Amino acid sequence: MALTDTRVKQLKHMGAANGEKYADGGGMYLHVTATGKYWRLSYRFAGKQKTLALGIYPDVALVKARERRADARTLLADGIDPGVAKREEKQNRANAAANTFEAVARDWLTKTANKRAAVTQAKVISWLEKDVFPFIGKLPVSTIRAKDVLDKVVRRMEARGIHESAHRILQICSQVFRYAVAIGLVERDVTVDLRGALVSVDKTNYAAITEPKQVGQLMRSIHSYGGHPTAVAALKLTPLVFVRPGELRAAEWAEIDLDAAEWRIPASKMKMKVEHLVPLSRQALEILRALQPLSGHGRYLFPSIRTGERCMSENTINAALRGMGYSKEVMTAHGFRAMARTIMDEVLGERPDLIEHQLAHTVKDPNGRAYNRTAHLPARMEMMQSWADYLDKLRIGAEVVPISRAKR
């Protein structure tokens, strides 16, 4: 006789050592013991008698238990052991719970770290920790839909007006999903469905001041800037070395040789994955020696104000420029590279290959082979000193040569 809701509710343990069993039909019964009421399904598979747990009453009501019985019998009809199917489903849920987006992303970051400069690795981690993990990090990567990425990540960033960063974050998420595809956690990269869904960003070159008179005013502003001492030092050093902003802020004292007047940036930090040598002018050495008592006891030349364990923020130089009244349309931290390249070439008449060497661009010899990192080092040292002296002349208001009068 089939069970009813009322009877199931009223049934009590009668004291039998192994409890009592009450059949509902189709192999399903309610097992009542001293500890509770359990739904079970008795079935045979491959000639063996087996039992499948269907849930615990009252969490699983009679109607729900019958649904689970029907599902199990459907599997049996298809030649599938419902007990095995249940264990596999449980394992899949456990795997999904373990393989959250954050777990997969951090695994991807570790596996691919050698493909990125250390400063880029730190930046990608920071972006993920700030704009992605808090919103989809705990979700199993296999359950995330394109709309989750759009609504929970991209739209939040666009609402803050950081459209270009939103595009970069989407690219990073795409790489994580492609890694998940490669290791068999998902079938496809869901972010491909978001093409055309983001606010478009106009690509522009980094703003830079390249007119000598304006550079002179910029240098005076830099030397009168009253920010934090390490930020001031970074700001003063930037035009003298014109490395990429990320390379400057991640500079370490172990890379600096004050006696040899050299800064050797390891390949792991460079965009082109080649060690870069920066000759240090007298002016650069003066800044570094003044900085040494402030940060020389630690790892970084320009440590974070909050914690010396990290380098300063990527926004420090740009924030200082804004504080001096230079908008992002006028001058950027990256713009010091364009400033140096333009004036060295068009005003000072320096050799283009030396300039490109110092910008850490690939330069090839007449046979088409890339020069090594120490190529033309004496000439580059002379060029860097001439550049520093020229910036000093601009700053103190000495006669300058306009670009239109440049001689080659």
- As a three-state string, the secondary structure of 75-144 is HHHCCCCHHHHHHHHHHHHHHHHHCEHHHHHHHHHHHCHHHCCHHHHHHHHHHHHHHCHHHHCCCEHHHC
Question: Of the residues 90, 160, 361, 364, which is catalytic?
Answer: 361
Dihedral angle, C-alpha 8, 9, 15, 18, nearest 10 °: 40
Q: Is 334 a catalytic residue?
A: yes
Residue 247 buriedness (CB in 10 A; 0-12 / 13-18 / 19+): buried
Q: Is 271 a catalytic residue?
A: yes
Q: Is 361 a catalytic residue?
A: yes
Q: Is 138 a catalytic residue?
A: no
Q: Partners of 43 in the beta sheet?
A: 50
Q: Which strands sit side by side in the sheet containing 262-265, from one edge to the other?
A: 256-257, 262-265, 276-279
Q: Is 337 a catalytic residue?
A: yes
Question: Of the residues 269, 337, 341, 357, which is catalytic?
Answer: 337
Determine the Cα–Cα distance for residues 18 and 33; give it in Å rounded to an integer: 7
Question: Of the residues 228, 271, 351, 373, which is catalytic?
Answer: 271
Q: Which residue in 18, 17, 24, 42 sits closest to 8, CA to CA?
A: 24
Question: Of the residues 68, 69, 236, 244, which is catalytic?
Answer: 244
Question: Of the residues 371, 373, 376, 393, which is catalytic?
Answer: 371
Question: Of the residues 37, 276, 334, 380, which is catalytic?
Answer: 334
SS3 34: coil
Determine the Cα–Cα distance for residues 12 and 51; give it in Å rounded to an integer: 22
CA distances from 371 to 60, 88, 349, 378 (A): 73, 58, 21, 15
Residues assigned a catalytic role: 244, 271, 334, 337, 361, 371
